[in-house]
């Protein structure tokens, strides 16, 4: 199923047919659903929403955790590029656990995924999570 994400997001992007280059996302959920979403523009930069945000909100609404997330840059005047999740989206995706697989930017045209914990090896929330190796000797 994860292998279909790139095809699905590209299909969605072509169908959406935005007049200019923008970002699109697709996410695979634990139950096998593929969700799609698009970047939301706003006059104030801080009000803009990354493409992944719609998938994250939909998965939350469905109570169906995201297992894989992919974001692309696509449009009439650009080559399609895979974009790694930005810091804010990594933060948002962490609600599904640090094993969520994130498509990462590669220049070879291949879709590669890395677990969120590999993108964020020193995640701030780990300070509050007890790890089993910290329990030794207690
Ligand atoms: Zn983002």
| Cβ–Cβ under 8 Å, residues 5 and 33 | no
Ligand 1 is an ion; residues with CB less than 5 A from it:
50, 86, 88-89
134: confidence class by pLDDT, cuts 50, 70, 90: very low
Element (H, E) at 81: strand 81-83
Q: How far is CA 125 from the centre of its chain?
A: 19
136: confidence class by pLDDT, cuts 50, 70, 90: very low
Phi first, then psi: give them for residue 108, nearest 5 degrees: -95, 5
Domain that holds residue 11: 2-134
Q: How far is the CA of 46 from the centre of ligand 1 (A)?
A: 12
Phi first, then psi: give them for residue 110, nearest 5 degrees: -85, 150
Q: How far is the CA of 132 from the centre of ligand 1 (A)?
A: 32
Q: What is the pLDDT of residue 138?
A: 37
Could you report the per-residue pLDDT of 20-64, keeping only the tens digit for each?
999 999 999 999 999 999 999 999 999 999 999 999 999 999 999
Could you report the per-residue pLDDT of 53-93, keeping only the tens digit for each?
999 999 999 999 999 999 999 999 999 999 999 999 999 99
For residue 81, the domain's CATH number is: 3.40.140.10
107: confidence class by pLDDT, cuts 50, 70, 90: low
Q: How many domains does the chain have?
A: 1
Q: How far is the CA of 69 from the centre of ligand 1 (A)?
A: 11
């Amino acid at each position: 199923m994860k292998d279909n994400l790139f095809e699905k997001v590209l299909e969605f992007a072509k169908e959406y047919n935005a007049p200019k280059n923008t970002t699109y996302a697709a996410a695979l959920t634990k139950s096998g659903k593929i969700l799609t979403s698009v970047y939301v523009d706003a006059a104030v930069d801080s009000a803009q929403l990354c493409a992944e945000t719609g998938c994250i909100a939909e998965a939350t609404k469905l109570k169906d955790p995201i297992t894989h997330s992919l974001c692309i840059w696509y449009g009439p005047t650009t080559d399609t590029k895979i974009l790694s999740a930005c810091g804010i989206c990594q933060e948002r995706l962490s609600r599904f656990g640090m094993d969520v697989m994130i498509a990462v930017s590669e220049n070879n045209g291949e879709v590669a995924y890395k677990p969120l914990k590999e993108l964020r090896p020193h995640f701030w929330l780990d300070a509050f999570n007890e790890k089993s190796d910290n329990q030794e000797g207690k």
